[in-house]
Amino acid sequence: MKYGRSLSDLALELERQTETKRDMIVPSTLMAHETAADGGSSVVIEQPRQGHAIYRTTDNFRRQLADKLKIPFSYFERMRSDQPDLLDRNVNTWLREEPEARMVRTLDGAARAYLSDRYRRLDNYDLLAHVLPILKEIPGARFESVELTEKRMYLKVITPQIYTEVKVGDVVQAGVLISNSEVGHGAVSVQPLVFRLVCSNGLVVPDGRMRKNHVGRIQATEEDAVTVFADDTLEADDKAFFLKVRDVTRAAVSTATLEAAAVKLRKALGIDLTGDPAKAVEAMGVRYLLNEQERSGVLRAFFVEGEMNAFGLVNAVTRFAQEVDCYDRSTELEALGGKLMELSAHDWKGIVTAA
């Protein structure tokens, strides 16, 4: 499992962010895009009676803006670097021709997300405050990996008190992954997690998860005004959600959930690799969209694992996940390990027999 930062560092950073973040509903007619000669871009938001505010744009904001305006992002970026005036004319024309109020989320003076006015804010600081007491109820809870990226917050918690053996000497422990995105990269998610002691691999189990989408009521706004949100706490209607988080977390770290995962891993032990290992990894990579570098890394990890079966391939993916620089991608690979664990013998056939 890839390691991030300490829990105390995470809490301090989230507390700092609450002081500098700002959210607002902005009619598109009050927003303009400006590109500098060096390719740096900003959005200018006109605020009647308050003047205008300028925010530099993040890659995520530009992607969401381009997607909303139906401009292919590769072309958006080409214009930004080669024809900045053309980009600004395109963007600003469509912002005015197709007026719509959207949520703009800012942090540290940067526009970081361009979202629907129905986007339901469920921020990392509030989520952490609510789930910490729940996580501390887990017997022997250990925060194995915690991270905050530009896209998501991750809490990976393990309990050494709930464990089983996949095979003699190969111990796995129960855990839970709680993640959230403030910038439109997925719902709040709670999923079971399996931690393999022999190599510190983490595997995200797709069964038994829960999600809460960031969708709420349309936010009322005026056509000629910007609505700025106060940094309030979660509303009372989220109480039911956090009760469900508690229940799903308890189920995720139960003996029953861990044993169900172990049964599937034991079945993978019995599915032998009869084809070429390189071809098997290539077939898996094609099916699950791994790039060439990732396929090479998984193949290398597969030989390190030394298990010439489906179980070895599952663990090769989660072992390689520890080497990936990007924490978001590392976690995606841990989730891929969980998807592979779920495959039936029939589904595995096209991979393990590849020649």
* 30-76 per-position pLDDT tens digit: 999 999 988 899 999 998 777 889 999 999 999 999 999 999 999 99
Predicted local confidence at residue 227, as pLDDT: 67
Predicted local confidence at residue 233, as pLDDT: 47
Average pLDDT, rounded, for the chain: 91
CB 123 within 8 A of CB 56: no
Tell me which of 113-117, 231-235, 301-305, 320-324 is least confident: 231-235
- DSSP lists the bridge partners of residue 194 as 174, 203
pLDDT, tens digit, 9 for 90 and up, residues 225-262: 566 655 554 554 567 788 888 888 999 999 999 999 99
Closest CA to 339 of 284, 266, 286: 284
* 237's tokens: 């209607």
Alpha-carbon distances of 4 from 15, 86, 146, 331, rounded to whole Å: 18, 41, 5, 11
Exposed/middle/buried for residue 37 (C-beta within 10 Å: 0-12, 13-18, 19+): exposed
CB 83 within 8 A of CB 151: no
Exposed/middle/buried for residue 291 (C-beta within 10 Å: 0-12, 13-18, 19+): exposed
